[in-house]
Structure 1
Amino acid sequence: MAKMPVYLTTPIYYVNDRPHIGHAYTSLATDVLARFKRLDGHEVFFLTGTDEHGQKVEKAAKDAGEDPQAFTDRVSQAFRELTATMGFSNDDFIRTTEPRHKAACVALWQALAGKGEIYLGDYEGWYAVRDEAFYGPDELTERDGVKYAPSGAPVEWVREPSYFFRLSKWLPELLRRYDLPEGHPDRIDIQPESRRNEVRAFIQQGLKDFAERPEKLDLSVSRTSFTWGVKVPGDEAHVMYVWLDALTNYITAAGYPDTAHPRWRFWPADVHFVGKDIVRFHTIYWPAFLMAAGLPVPRRVFAHGWWTNEGQKISKSLGNVIDPVALVEEFGLDPVRYFLLREVPFGNDGDFSRKALVHRLNGELADALGNLANRTLSLIQRNCEGRLPAEAVRDASDAALFASLDTLLATVRNQLDQQQFHLALESVFASVRDANGYITQQAPWALKKTDLVRMAAVLRHLHTALRAYATVLQPFMPATMAALLDQLGVPADARDFGALATPLPEGTPLPPPAPLFRKLDLPA
């Protein structure tokens, strides 16, 4: 039976500055899950791209002395290049300045307006240009006479004509959908649980505060104070609110408004990966827009945490922004990919440390996995004429090795379905530790002198384990695991998860092993 198609997205990244570690982190998680699902037999659509409209971009372009389109062309290209540097396997890269996207925004606006979900009024309130968001007075702090949003962005009082979306109408339905049981087709799943609780509390407090005037919860969805955006159809003095524009990208790429488009079968998205700072936009505004337009809502929104750098908050003013391209040049692509998803539970905040990265690279990748592969394959070269021994019957002394190995794929699949990347890697490396204990205990180099049949069986079992590790780790470290699978003699067309059930034939020639990872000195 064919497996369901899978749609995975990163947020589209705002082009007011160059890419940093946070952008790479979100896209990496999406890439790993996309690669895993493809190897598991799913058809996958993986989308990333750039968000290029709004007052903040208009201001950044002006500050750079550039036309907004030229500015966004230049900065968007840096994000496109990051996908290549990090080895991301996205199927599309969308820009909100593309004609297809503007057409989708207009179609969604017209669908909402046609259903009476948008009306014209006036808006006044505290607005943060940096966040492209309005805030209530109770959310603000004040220092030296300047008011600030919870994000730390300064706010200003704004009054202008605006179109409004009837958000208040949809808030009770959102709460209902958050609380539906797992597996229910209408459920909006917000992960981790702490983010779900935060969003629920935010809506409940808003409904309580404005019980007598729920329209105060309606959302301003147009601006007249700047021009860099998608024009409102029928009223070009207004441009669409940047979040209505930006969020629409997810259905633009799926073919909207053409629901007969081949890509529309992927909608709704299975997971929107986002940073925790934009979880409200994705879990309140976005599903409300979709429900009001009569469209399916995303199945899950997963909001991850933020990185610090050696214990310090990352900021341009401190000069400690982490450049992912420089990291890859220093440590290599696959070790960086591995470390970012191994070090911190996905969803939590984490601290980037060069010392921790080197420890992971040396201890887990080089010593545990790399050394196991080199020892095993070198023994096969020397003692089995460089050819794979025959499949062997397991005996009692093999039980510990296969206890974790036989369930490894199912365990990792379950953990990645919950976006528990660090646990998936821990499961693999717990089994790698079992295999290192097994090779030491079985000592195939000693068996050469006493029991050649058992020696061959042990080496075959170790080869089986290494093939499983290399296959399951491909989404995390594609190039290095391709090299290991080459050394294991696994054909290029036998590297998906289904192929693990078919043993390689006895006598398969294996090339001489080569080191997979280079160990590094600890930073001073």
Structure 2
Amino acid sequence: MSFYITTPIYYVNAAPHLGHAYTTIAADVMARHHRQRGEDVFFLTGTDEHGEPVADAAKAAGVTPRELADKNAERFRALAPVLDATNDYFIRTSDPRHVKAVQDVLQKVKDNGYVELGVYEGPFCPRCADFKVENEIVEGNRCPIHLIELEWRQEENYFFQLSKLQDRLEAFYQEHPDFVAPASRRNEALSFIRGGLQDVSLTRGKLTWGVPVPWDDSHVFYVWFDALLNYYTALGFAREGEDLTDRFWPATYHFIAKDILKFHCVFWPALLMAADLPLPQHVFVHGYLLMDGHKMSKSLGNVLDPFAVIETFGSDALRFYLLRDVSFGQDGSVSALDFEQRYESELANDYGNLASRTIKMVLRYRDGAVPATGLDPALAADFDGLAERVCELLGRAELTTALEEIWLRVRRLNRYVEEQAPWKLAKEEGREADLDRVLTTLIEGLRVVTVLLHPWIPGRAATLLDALGTPDVAMAGATLGACVPTAVADIAPLFPKHQPPEAA
């Protein structure tokens, strides 16, 4: 079975921030989980390098759009490995192979009768690179995302005849109720469609930084159509000498933030219909990471540097926090204080301390050998169906809920330690078998939750599984009793408590 997941491609008009890291981490959790299930996985991310926002940022910086794109694309490329993300390819939309594929697909859209020349007039946000309709404008004639005053634009462009696809889109939504999730975002997209679709600009006649239109070299394609097609075009050249399109298209999941819902949930499926291409299976729309009540945004200046967080706490801690503290699919506030509290209480105490003391008890009482004995049925009952439940939730991209299911078992293991008190059993005459059963149950429970946690905290999970002598992270082994360790090795604290630097 194949599984293809994408992030949006990120604008190169400035450096990456935590919002970009959030989507990339979420997609990586899905990619890692599906690899655990033995599926054929492809994970794509990259950069969106054309259009007015990039041209404007380059002009302000006194460089060419190409120079700005080259500089910032490398910053985004560097972000993925720092996050421990396992993307299979990083696409740049300035790649000539992408440019040619975009021209081919959009020529097909024109040949199929969905393109006409016309004049567009209306309010425009240069940072969104988007004309706004009435219900997308906030008080003061401002963009609801960037909070800047909209410009009135009038341009002669080629138009994508979106209106012709109104009925087909409504029928598709009816036939595929799980195409967009969560349900509130599906309703939002469907409401937009039912409100009456208008034709939209396919090209721009006043820009030069973009993909040239093959039938009219005085125009370039509107950046959004160029960008959306990356999900499809990348498969044609991501692997040297191999076309992966038939293997992975249509995409299983697109992960996007809610500010680009209209493009991915309305324009994108319509474009694919017009080009006679299969539609993706799912688009999951997540919320915003908020600071000071606003979405994190380069233009608003309210950003948290993921590189700085990782330098102090490690990538696993950031990955865990973002998908634990903010319910995936909803808006949520983030802060340095909340991060440190979550790190201390759950990663250092709940999980890290559980791992350390469980291993140390086996080393102390059994010289590192895990007793070959049965597991405690009382604890085993709490793990019944856990792996299946996690697979079910992640199959619907419910990343935070799945993590909570696992964390309930981490807490259950901690309670089990207190209930059984192995240090007392070790001192009582005739309780050797009871101590053996408790130690083995704890070690095996620790292994199972660690296999399940691997997509979220891959680095520390691998360290702990190596110490248990069971490095395999396949989901087939994520049930209690499937692969009981035989010996353990001591390890340093997985999540050492952070000591802030003393004030000067």
Bucket of the pairwise TM-score, normalised by the shorter protein: over 0.9
State the partner residue of 1:221: 202
Equivalent position to 1:56, from 53, 57, 68 = 53
Distance 2:14 2:333 in 1: 22
Distance 1:425 1:257 in 2: 32
State the partner residue of 2:219: 238
Is 1:461 the counterpart of 2:441 in the alignment? Answer: yes
State the partner residue of 2:164: 169
Equivalent position to 1:92, from 84, 89, 92 = 89
Are residues 516 and 257 of structure 1, via their aligned partners in 2, closer, same or farther at CA, if it must alter by over 3 Å?
closer
Structure 2 unpaired stretches of 5+: none
Note the alpha carbon deviations across 1:260-301, whole angstroms, 9 max, x for none: 923431111111100100011001101001011111111111
Kindly state the Cα deviation for residue 319 of structure 1 after the two structures are TM-superposed. Answer: 4.6
Equivalent position to 2:116, from 110, 116, 119 = 119
Are residues 428 and 137 of structure 1, via their aligned partners in 2, closer, same or farther at CA, if it must alter by over 3 Å?
closer
SS of the residue corresponding to residue 148 of structure 1 reads coil
SS of the residue corresponding to residue 340 of structure 1 reads helix
State the partner residue of 1:369: 351
Note the alpha carbon deviations across 1:87-108, whole angstroms, 9 max, x for none: 1100000000001100110111
Amino acid at match of 2:459: A
CA RMSD of aligned residues (A): 2.2
State the partner residue of 1:247: 228
361-370 vs 70-79, which moves further: 361-370
129-138 vs 274-283, which moves further: 129-138
- Alignment of structure 1 residues 37-436 onto 2, 5 Å: 37-137=34-134, 139-141=136-138, 143=140, 147-151=141-145, 152-180=147-175, 189-206=179-196, 217-255=198-236, 261-309=243-291, 311=293, 314=296, 319-392=301-374, 394=376, 398-399=377-378, 401-436=379-414
Distance 1:80 1:242 in 2: 20
Kindly state the Cα deviation for residue 81 of structure 1 after the two structures are TM-superposed. Answer: 0.7
SS of the residue corresponding to residue 285 of structure 1 reads helix
Kindly state the Cα deviation for residue 392 of structure 1 after the two structures are TM-superposed. Answer: 0.9
Amino acid at match of 1:150: P
Distance 2:359 2:123 in 1: 65
Structure 1 unpaired stretches of 5+: 183-187, 208-216
Kindly state the Cα deviation for residue 29 of structure 1 after the two structures are TM-superposed. Answer: 0.4
Distance 2:168 2:382 in 1: 43
Amino acid at match of 2:468: L
Are residues 514 and 149 of structure 1, via their aligned partners in 2, closer, same or farther at CA, if it must alter by over 3 Å?
closer
Distance 1:354 1:403 in 2: 38
Is 1:483 the counterpart of 2:480 in the alignment? Answer: no
Are residues 404 and 505 of structure 1, via their aligned partners in 2, closer, same or farther at CA, if it must alter by over 3 Å?
closer
40-49 vs 431-440, which moves further: 431-440
Distance 1:315 1:245 in 2: 23
Amino acid at match of 2:184: S
Are residues 159 and 428 of structure 1, via their aligned partners in 2, closer, same or farther at CA, if it must alter by over 3 Å?
same
Amino acid at match of 1:194: S
314-323 vs 57-66, which moves further: 314-323
CA contact (8 A) 2:19 2:296 kept: no
CA contact (8 A) 2:236 2:245 kept: yes
TM-score (norm: length of structure 1) = 0.90
69-78 vs 120-129, which moves further: 120-129
Note the alpha carbon deviations across 1:366-398, whole angstroms, 9 max, x for none: 11111211121111111112112114154xxx4
TM-score (norm: length of structure 2) = 0.93
CA contact (8 A) 2:375 2:440 kept: no
Q: Give aligned pairs, total.
A: 496
SS of the residue corresponding to residue 361 of structure 1 reads helix
CA contact (8 A) 2:386 2:405 kept: yes
Kindly state the Cα deviation for residue 516 of structure 1 after the two structures are TM-superposed. Answer: 0.9
User: Which ranges of 4 or more aligned residues in structure 1 deviate by more than 6 Å?
Assistant: none
Distance 2:5 2:11 in 1: 19
State the partner residue of 1:451: 431
Distance 2:18 2:274 in 1: 35
Distance 1:100 1:309 in 2: 39
Kindly state the Cα deviation for residue 455 of structure 1 after the two structures are TM-superposed. Answer: 1.0
CA contact (8 A) 1:191 1:301 kept: yes
CA contact (8 A) 1:107 1:257 kept: no
87-96 vs 54-63, which moves further: 54-63
Distance 1:359 1:51 in 2: 35
Note the alpha carbon deviations across 1:240-262, whole angstroms, 9 max, x for none: 0111100000001122899x923
Amino acid at match of 2:443: H
Kindly state the Cα deviation for residue 8 of structure 1 after the two structures are TM-superposed. Answer: 0.2
